[in-house]
Amino acid sequence: MSEYNDPPGTPPPYEPQAHAPSNATSAEARQWAMFAHLSALLGAVLTGGWGCFIGPLIIWLVKKDAMPFVDDQGKEALNFNITAGAIYLALILLTLMTFGIGVIIAVPIGVVVFVVWLVLTIIAGVKANEGVAYRYPLTLRLIK
**Among 86, 89, 88, 80, residue whose Cα is nearest residue 60:** 80
Higher pLDDT pick, 142 / 11: 142
Other CB atoms within a 10 A radius of the CB of residue 122 amount to 13
pLDDT (mean) for 113-132: 95
Q: Which of 3-7, 44-48, 66-70, 97-101 has the lowest mean pLDDT?
A: 3-7
Looking at every residue in the chain, the average pLDDT score rounds to: 87
Helix count (H) and strand count (E) of the chain?
Answer: 4, 0
CA dihedral 84, 86, 88, 92 (to 10 degrees): 180
Q: What is the pTM of this model?
A: 0.79
Q: What is the pLDDT of residue 22?
A: 42
